[in-house]
Structure 1
Amino acid sequence: MMRKRILIIGAGAAGSSAAQALHQSGTDLEVTVIGAENLAPYNRTTVNKGLLSGAVDLENIILPGMDLPGYAWQLGTNVTALDPSTRTVELENGATIEADAVLLATGAEPRALTAAVDDGARSRVLRLRSAADTQRLRALTIANLPGHVVIAGAGLIGTETAAVLLEAGCQVTLTDPSPLPMRNHLGHTIAQWVATAHRTAGVDFRPATTITEIRAADEALLVSLAVGNSLHAAVVLASLGVTPATGWLEGSGIPLQAGRRPGAILVDQDQRVEGLSGMYAAGDAAAVPGLDGKPARIEHWGAAISQGRSAAAAILRDLHGEPSEVGSTQPLIPPATASYSTYVHGTKLTILGSPANGVREQFILGNLDSPRFALAFFDAEDRITGAVGVGGARAVNQLRSAIARRAHAAELETEASFEPVGGPQ
């Protein structure tokens, strides 16, 4: 019997975890993984932390277990077109590959600055998504201390990167278009705490500010801000979030999310692309159904790994018509209970669920003056949507089940003492 052919486009967390899961199934398959980077799969979460600081090198972050006998890896290769009706892709060199199942795991790409950048400054206006991006940033900053770095965007990546560069000896200015950093991720109260933490650590934090122009000025860059003043810097780093790397799919027939956060591939709860047989998507490029039925994108490493395994299980079920145990050891993480953590100048923050869907917040541990504190978030129906802990991960993780079932505040009050937070939400 001819072996089933599976094509995985994308060698990041979702694509590599799917390949690993397929191999672990023991099924005789012909699997090809195509990756745009000319590198073996690696832990991308380190690019603005350990890899940037120099605590680890590239060899340390290559993912283990990727030596999969019989699997073909085409790295440093871009896919330019897809015909989902025949599950055929075209590569940049003109070659085509047809498969019985195609997994789209192309990830996301950083948003570009909207500022005007002159040609002389362009080589020092960077982004930070890949190991190659890290090498460029290190070469222009840490390797040439002291240097001034202006970071546009105080989200997760911008905040973490600011701390690493500051610790390395750089002068850091952090701008953000919002009045408070990461308010959608963390809520009003903890966003205020983050702003204070930046300034206490020594970051020149400038909220409600955008960059309008960047020009070369002798050996430096002249960075103009919307508020009217300007800064001299060695490097400008754009850290304004990401968009799904799916532009090449427009017009292909693959359904893409519209609205406020467009571009993600619409899939069902098993990562099957809506309405297309043999097509799957996972990771940052996919939008999975939330508890309310609306598509939701989860831009985190753990979710990408989980979705990759879930996609592998669906592929095996669909190709062989029988249940598969692949993915059972690491179940799909629904958007309602997705969790991740970050560090703000040495303090760990744990985020669970969807704080952004809350309209009010309450302390569940300590207060702003405590070394550890945590808040829960509730929607208009007073049901819990998420929680954030500042050094208090245990208090947050105890609410995982409550968040998954959208428990009412009255139910939780029998288990914990909540202290309301004042101020605007």
Structure 2
Amino acid sequence: MVDADQTFVIVGGGLAGAKAAETLRSEGFTGRVILIGDERDHPYERPPLSKGYLQGKEERDSVFVHEPAWYASNDIELHLGQTVTAIDRTAKTVQLGEGTAVRYDKLLLATGAEPRRLDIPGTHLAGVHHLRRLSHAERLKHVLASLGRDNGHLVIAGAGWIGLEVAAAARQYGAEVTIVEPEATPLHAVLGPELGQIFTELHSDHGVRFHFGARLTEISGQDGMVLAALTDDGEEHPAHDVLAAIGAAPRTALAEAAGLEMAPREHGGGIAVDIALRTSDPDIHAAGDVAAVQHPLFDTRLRVEHWANALNGGPAAARAMMGKDVVYDRVPYFFSDQYDLGLEYSGWAPPGSYDQVVLRGDAGKREFIAFWLKDGRVLAGMNVNVWDVTEQIQKLIRTGVRPGAERLGDPSVPLATLLEE
């Protein structure tokens, strides 16, 4: 039976919000749980949107966090297609777009992120796409299939994870693909220049064309349809469709209007939270893509836009809302699948933060582990087509051991042995 004396409100109907609601119930919270999402679909996971579902390998229903009936059976009051327009911290209410005020005792902001938009002429054309929501993936899936049938051209702005995964899906459908990227290699902001060439070769081997060192300046069209994509170095790429894959921005407007502390832009922006995912208001927590946590392991504030952060951050915030001791110090983790290459990345090592990259294995065969080091300490590790090593990689990061580059790069030395040093 629900105890109406306490009400916990969750704003955001994604993975973080859904897992927070699940944790509240599974760990004994008996008050009201209200989950508000601005999409009409039930909470779902985002990785399939650029992977299995987009490729046609997974059914639509597979993306949902819970069966629709789960929410009612667990006394979760689910409000779909509702936008929260304001937070009144004094009255402890959230205002819905329809005018209703909902009271809370504790509030979780899991509002996620939204795709960055191309600020160039031509983005109004029908063939310009973003990929963030299930509805985007449904539309793009049909577009890729059509391009494949008709030998059509897709131009992708951005060679990040989304851009590369969509490129792989598009090529599997048979579409022609050109990626325009301002850096000299793909994934520069995550992997640095040392590993980017591997992904250049991977996609080039599958027929993707890259145009590095350039940005889109205009999308030209006729009768509302895309005809070409123009770049700032004077090139013109034939296109029937264009995907903007230039990153995502945290959805902080609601929190900012409520006067909550924000993280600096150099730390990824987002809502500033402590190790228990509390905001500057002790009755408001934040989790998932929108939260910038003061990370005790890396001694800096981090905002992580990946599935594992939502999966683990939502439950951690729920426990903190219940008054439990929480230290959110998970090692950042994500995975990607592109053609026959699968990878897992653990840690945090943006360009400029490391002084050495060590490879273990055969990069030519795309079977290796890469380690990013600073003063001999492992900051991050990425296993490519090498499996069941994530736990050891994360332990190397967490313990701060300095095994030495030679032994770290030697496949004959078990990773477990390095942890003993």
Q: Distance in 1 between matches of 2:226 and 2:306?
A: 35
Deviations 1:246-269 (A, max 9, x none): 123323211111233554111111
Q: Report the equivalent of 2:279.
A: 273
Bigger drift between 223-232 and 132-141 goes to 132-141
Q: Report the equivalent of 2:415.
A: none
After TM superposition, the structure 1 = structure 2 runs for residues 319-334 of structure 1, keeping only pairs within 5 Å, are: 323=324, 332-334=328-330
- Of 374, 386, 402 in structure 2, the residue corresponding to residue 408 of structure 1 is 402
Deviation at 1:4, TM superposition (A): 0.6
2:292 alignment partner, SS class: strand
- Of 319, 337, 346 in structure 2, the residue corresponding to residue 343 of structure 1 is 337
Is the counterpart of residue 264 in structure 1 residue 288 in structure 2? no
Q: Identity percentage over the alignment?
A: 29
Task: Please say if residues 358 and 384 of structure 1, whose CA atoms lie closer than 8 Å, have aligned partners that are also in contact.
Answer: no
Deviations 1:112-149 (A, max 9, x none): 11222264x2x221100011011222333313532211
Task: Please say if residues 228 and 240 of structure 2, whose CA atoms lie closer than 8 Å, have aligned partners that are also in contact.
Answer: no
Q: Report the equivalent of 1:61.
A: 63
Aligned residue type for 2:141: R
Q: Distance in 2 between matches of 1:242 and 1:235?
A: 20
1:221 alignment partner, SS class: strand
Q: Distance in 2 between matches of 1:154 and 1:235?
A: 16
Q: Report the equivalent of 2:356.
A: 360
Q: Distance in 1 between matches of 2:116 and 2:311?
A: 23
Q: Report the equivalent of 2:418.
A: none
Q: Distance in 2 between matches of 1:373 and 1:95?
A: 55
Is the counterpart of residue 138 in structure 1 residue 131 in structure 2? no
Deviation at 1:107, TM superposition (A): 0.5
Q: Report the equivalent of 2:18.
A: 16
Over 3 Å counting, the alpha-carbon distance change for 1:316 and 1:366 in structure 2 is: same
1:193 alignment partner, SS class: helix
Is the counterpart of residue 417 in structure 1 residue 410 in structure 2? yes
Aligned residue type for 2:51: K
Bigger drift between 47-56 and 200-209 goes to 47-56
Q: Report the equivalent of 1:158.
A: 163
Q: Report the equivalent of 1:233.
A: 239
2:357 alignment partner, SS class: strand
Q: Report the equivalent of 1:309.
A: 315
Deviation at 1:398, TM superposition (A): 2.2
Deviations 1:338-373 (A, max 9, x none): 22211232211221111323221112x223334411
Q: Distance in 2 between matches of 1:118 and 1:308?
A: 34
Q: Report the equivalent of 1:203.
A: 208
Q: Distance in 2 between matches of 1:138 and 1:416?
A: 40
* Number of residue pairs matched by the alignment: 401
1:250 alignment partner, SS class: helix
TM-score computed with the length of structure 1 as normaliser: 0.88
Q: Report the equivalent of 1:255.
A: 261
- Of 79, 88, 91 in structure 1, the residue corresponding to residue 84 of structure 2 is 79
Task: Please say if residues 282 and 308 of structure 1, whose CA atoms lie closer than 8 Å, have aligned partners that are also in contact.
Answer: yes
Deviation at 1:186, TM superposition (A): 2.3
Q: Distance in 2 between matches of 1:386 and 1:151?
A: 28
Deviation at 1:382, TM superposition (A): 2.7
> What root-mean-square deviation, in Å, do the aligned CA atoms of Structure 1 and Structure 2 show?
2.3
Deviation at 1:395, TM superposition (A): 5.0
Over 3 Å counting, the alpha-carbon distance change for 1:118 and 1:143 in structure 2 is: closer
Task: Please say if residues 341 and 350 of structure 1, whose CA atoms lie closer than 8 Å, have aligned partners that are also in contact.
Answer: yes
Bigger drift between 102-111 and 123-132 goes to 123-132
What runs of 5+ residues in structure 1 fail to find an aligned partner?
318-322, 420-425
Q: Report the equivalent of 1:110.
A: 115
Over 3 Å counting, the alpha-carbon distance change for 1:392 and 1:418 in structure 2 is: closer
Bigger drift between 384-393 and 295-304 goes to 384-393
Aligned residue type for 1:109: E
Is the counterpart of residue 148 in structure 1 residue 153 in structure 2? yes
What runs of 5+ residues in structure 2 fail to find an aligned partner?
413-421
Aligned residue type for 1:375: A
Aligned residue type for 2:39: E
Q: Report the equivalent of 2:220.
A: 215
Over 3 Å counting, the alpha-carbon distance change for 1:183 and 1:406 in structure 2 is: farther
TM-score computed with the length of structure 2 as normaliser: 0.89
Q: Report the equivalent of 2:417.
A: none
Task: Please say if residues 118 and 215 of structure 1, whose CA atoms lie closer than 8 Å, have aligned partners that are also in contact.
Answer: no
Task: Please say if residues 367 and 373 of structure 1, whose CA atoms lie closer than 8 Å, have aligned partners that are also in contact.
Answer: yes
Over 3 Å counting, the alpha-carbon distance change for 1:292 and 1:354 in structure 2 is: closer
Deviations 1:55-106 (A, max 9, x none): 2232232223643432210001111111233321111112111100000000
Q: Report the equivalent of 2:54.
A: 52
Aligned residue type for 2:270: A
After TM superposition, the structure 1 = structure 2 runs for residues 273-292 of structure 1, keeping only pairs within 5 Å, are: 273-274=279-280, 276-290=281-295, 291-292=297-298
Bigger drift between 106-115 and 61-70 goes to 61-70
Q: Distance in 1 between matches of 2:226 and 2:259?
A: 46
